[in-house]
Amino acid sequence: MKLIKLLFLLVILFATTTLQAQTVKHTFALGDTTFLLDGKPLQIISGEMHYTRVPREAWRQRMKMAKAMGLNTIGTYVFWNVHEPQKGHYDFTGNNDIAEFVKIAKEEGLWVILRPSPYVCAEWEFGGYPYWLEKEQGLVVRSKEPKYLEAYKKYLTEVGKQLSPLLVNHGGNILMVQIENEYGSYGSDKDYLALNRKMFIDAGFDGQLYTCDPEPAIKDGHLPGLLPAINGIDDVAKVKKLISDNHNGKGPYFIAEWYPAWFDWWGTAHHTIPADRYVPKLDSVLAAGISINMYMFHGGTTRGFMNGANYNDQNPYEPQISSYDYDAPLDEAGNATDKFMKFRAVISKHLPAGVTLPEVPAAKPVMSLPAIKFTQSTSLFDVLPVAKINSTPLTFEDLNQAYGFVLYRTTINGGKSGLLKLKDLRDYGIIYVNGKRVGIVDRRKYQDSLMINLPKGKVTLDILVENLGRINFGPYLLKNKKGITEKVLFAGTELKSWKMYSLPFDDINKVKVNASVKKAVANNAPQLKKAVFKVDKLADTYLDMSKWGKGIVWINGHNLGRYWYYGPQQTIYVPAEWLKKGDNQITVLELIKSSENTLNAIDHPILDVLGK
């Protein structure tokens, strides 16, 4: 009996000791020139990587690559629209499990810089805001407007429940938390920033808080008492002056976003910048003891309908592509690039004495596959849900729909020609007369109208509208409603009596795809195509969409993103983690080239070809 009691006490002691070891609390503070971890100087060498853009099953592999390049920290935004997709309904599961992402980083020996502000920009749909904010009458984002602050506070409270226990001062690995995001580029209301700080503290974020802004905006965007970090500047003298001028003459000095390249949007060339242009800059910054966060270290993929768009008074509407490769040190699939190896060499020069970097893991396996042939195809017009009826067109928001497509249908008297005008179209519309495609309108090209000829008799007019991504940056964050947002005119007369069919495609498994519909193909109707293909081994691959037109691809239920012949992206990355040995199911929604039925999977990406 004594032996059993002794063993029991030993087990309790071991468990208690282990728990204490796992929850060791650190101190993290701002010194005059550097960060202080447990009273000792810490130079943060961080890389941005977003949990939503990487399959959960691959988080750890990407973090091992971060360690191998010499990073000691990972930076990530937290995305409101994935965590509260509908008002009051929260999701922190699966690929949205941000707490698990942070915990895995700790297991891999990485600190975390957390960026949970409601607005993230990030080339992300609506800058991270959930679509339903547009439905709240009078709500104004990034302001003291009460409805916004109420929604913001409720969301931040839920985020705090997930992440505040993981702060470094609570035994976790989150060093710092950013409030707002480049606010100085948008406004200058210090009272609003102070409310941000209070809400963060109330939500449990009681550690080090900071702000970040580009050079012209740092004066307006920082809050006295918090560290003002700088974005987009790597001149050592300028970094130190900008921060110290806004921080009582002191540091620490932190470049919160250092850009080793840039993102892409449809119809423009893939952005690439040689590593050699950045190596001297990285070397000088690290030699000066300045801390840094690379945006991006690893971009990954903006899957589903989550890409954002840029728009301002000088440039057209510019929706971003699904690949977020970013020409980053780690490519879209998580492999080391030339930039990775050269940055690693620079970082190695500035490591503390006695510290060496782990070996760079080998590149992930990649494969080509035999041609995939689609044997099942169904017209989108044959799988429509129940319609909602209204005199005038309803927006996506009116239909309680966040993303995807809406089909607008009405019946008009034919036997005449005229100009069909969609006011105000957001963002891409395909026009059908009696089921036959007659034209396309595209917001990117300032197209909102076309001439059409109507046959005699009653005519069915269909307009299939795609949300190509809400604006994520600039002055028009609250002009983001989608669909036909005003009215439709034909020959100068407003068309009424509309049926609207919501097509969010939030679960492709619910959509039935049957045998080929030849009539629909002949009319160029949008097609849902399905096939099963086999794989003998698990490896990454890339779907070559260069012969297809425009649409979406799903593999085993995962929405991999958009393709469009405009380019530059001509392939879609398929992560090995989402394949399985044996049968795999692929579904394609093809909007333009209805007769295409063969798809190749190749062993490399094509991100630099512009279509016609």
Bridge partners, residue 442, by sequence: 428
pLDDT digits (tens, 9 = 90+) for 252-267: 999 999 999 999 999 9
pLDDT of residue 276: 97
294-333 tens-digit pLDDT: 999 999 999 999 999 999 999 999 999 999 999 999 999 9
pLDDT at 16 over 50: no
Residue 512 has a pLDDT of: 82
- pLDDT bin (cut points 50, 70, 90) of residue 578 is very high
Q: Does the pLDDT at position 242 exceed 60?
A: yes
Query: What's the pLDDT at 13?
Result: 47
Give the confidence band of 523 by pLDDT, cuts at 50, 70, 90.
confident
Percent of the chain with pLDDT over 70: 95
Other Cβ atoms closer than 10 A to 437: 18
pLDDT at 23 over 90: no
Residues 586-590: what's their mean pLDDT?
Answer: 98
- With CA atoms as reference, report the closest residue to 83 among 129, 28, 141, 146: 129
Residue 21 has a pLDDT of 43
What is the predicted pLDDT for the residue at 611? 86
- Beta partners for residue 174, in sequence order: 112, 167
Give 528's strand partners: 378, 589
Provide the pLDDT for residue 475.
87
Amino acid at 441: V
Name 47's bridge partners. Answer: 74, 294
CA angle 592, 596, 601 (to 5 degrees): 115
What are the beta bridge partners of residue 409?
A: 462, 499
pLDDT digit string (tens) for 42-99? 999 999 999 999 999 999 999 999 999 999 999 999 999 999 999 999 999 999 999 9
- Which residue in the block uniquely carries the two structure tokens 């008297």? 413
**C-beta pairs of 415-419 under 8 Å, 24+ apart in sequence:** 415/454, 415/455, 415/456, 415/457, 416/454, 416/491, 417/451, 417/452, 417/453, 417/454, 417/491, 418/451, 418/452, 418/454, 418/490, 418/491, 418/492, 419/449, 419/450, 419/451, 419/489, 419/490, 419/491, 419/492
Q: Which two tokens stand for residue 255?
A: 């470049």
30 or 478, which is more confident: 30
- Which of the residue ranges 164-178, 303-317, 323-337, 505-519 would you say has the lowest mean pLDDT? 505-519
Instruction: Please give the C-alpha separations between residue 231 and each of 124, 250, 256, in angstroms, as whole numbers.
Output: 18, 18, 5
Distance CA(176)–CA(213), nearest Å, equals: 16
pLDDT band at 515 (very low <50, low <70, confident <90, very high): low
Q: What is the pTM (predicted TM-score) of this model? A: 0.95
Question: Is the per-residue pLDDT at 1 higher than 90?
Answer: no
Mean pLDDT of 229-247: 98
- Reply yes or no on whether the pLDDT at 517 is more than 80: no
Q: What is the mean pLDDT of the chain?
A: 94
Element housing 565 (H / E): none
- By annotation, the residues acting in catalysis are 182, 257
Find the range with the poorest average confidence among 12-16, 352-356, 500-504: 12-16
**Class of residue 7 by CB neighbours under 10 A (exposed 0-12, middle 13-18, buried 19+):** exposed
Mean pLDDT along residues 444-458 = 97
